[in-house]
Amino acid sequence: MGRFTGKVALVTGAARGIGRRVALALAADGANVVINDVAHKDEATAVAAEIEAMGQQALVWLTDVSERTAVAGLIAATVSYFGQLDIAVANAAVSVRQLVVEAEWADVLRTIEVSQFGVFHTCQMAARQMAQQALNGRSRGKIIIIGSVHQELAVPRSAAYNMSKAAVNHLARTMAAELAGQRINVNVVNPGWIETPGELAHYTPEAIAEAGKRIPWGRIGQPEDIAQAVAFLASDAADYVTGAALRVDGGYVLGLTLPV
């Protein structure tokens, strides 16, 4: 039996990149998975097929997490289909790279609506559902937010994204304090530089591989690195971990202060 046998996981932004690998990692360890995305139907369906090939169940639910009513529908669909919600991974995000003085307000607003408010909607509504459930193992539920090292680094051209990631880190701490008595764990994983479709839209694979050599660990991160961190926080092994921020960056942040 896997660590998540008999449990149901919801992963937002799960069609590609980090979200995809998280969904597959949880399924590989026994979870049935709800795959949420907004625009990548074919890729989401492909993730579902991979999960079903493992012998687990999958539900694809396309919706925009920035819309509260849509997130309410997502949680309701999860419970209607599977009967419960044990693990919620708030991964969906948007990042439009612009200098502050040149930023288009529509792009700033969209980034915050998805990367900050969408995380709030997902976590709030997941927690409401989990609080109604009986203990399943050692907890009523696990909520994991995918943050970023941007929450502590003033990365140029990323002001709205930086703001959002700082905000959701504090949201995790606040929710952890509020929900500990109900045995709902809330934690955040802060990835460093990860090779995702979003990064490949800005850099060639060769440029990424070369830049990765400057990270102390000697390579750029992969979605699987983040997926395994999420799986740990979602497991009973992390029963006593709540309100924590786990940086998974191969020493990227530390490397910024090291001599060349």
Q: Is residue 218 part of a domain?
A: yes
| Per-residue pLDDT tens digits for 157-213 | 999 999 999 999 999 999 999 999 999 999 999 999 999 988 888 888 898 888 899
Q: Is residue 92 part of a domain?
A: yes
Q: Is residue 260 part of a domain?
A: no
Q: How many domains does the chain fold into?
A: 1
Sheet holding 58-62, edge to edge: 58-62, 32-37, 8-11, 87-90, 141-146, 184-191, 245-248
| Per-residue pLDDT tens digits for 119-145 | 999 999 999 999 999 998 889 999 999
In which domain, by residue range, is 95 found? Answer: 8-253
pTM above 0.75, yes or no: yes
Query: What was the pLDDT predicted at 201?
Result: 81
Catalytic-residue membership of 81: no
Q: Is residue 2 part of a domain?
A: no
Query: What was the pLDDT predicted at 103?
Result: 98
Rounded CA separation 197/190 (Å): 18
Q: Is residue 1 part of a domain?
A: no
- How large is the average pLDDT for residues 70-82? 98
Q: Is residue 259 part of a domain?
A: no
Query: What was the pLDDT predicted at 211?
Result: 85
Confidence of residue 257 (pLDDT cuts 50, 70, 90): confident
Q: CB neighbours of 249 closer than 8 A, spacing ≥ 6?
A: 149, 190, 191, 192, 193, 215, 221
Q: Is residue 258 part of a domain?
A: no
List the CATH number of the domain containing 155: 3.40.50.720
Beta bridge pairs of residue 60 = 35
Catalytic residue among 161, 203, 240, 252: 161
218 in helix, strand or coil? coil
Query: What was the pLDDT predicted at 193?
Result: 94
Judged against a pLDDT cut of 90, whether residue 45 lies above it is answered with yes
166 in helix, strand or coil? helix
| Per-residue pLDDT tens digits for 94-128 | 999 999 999 999 999 999 999 999 999 999 999 99
Q: Is residue 183 part of a domain?
A: yes
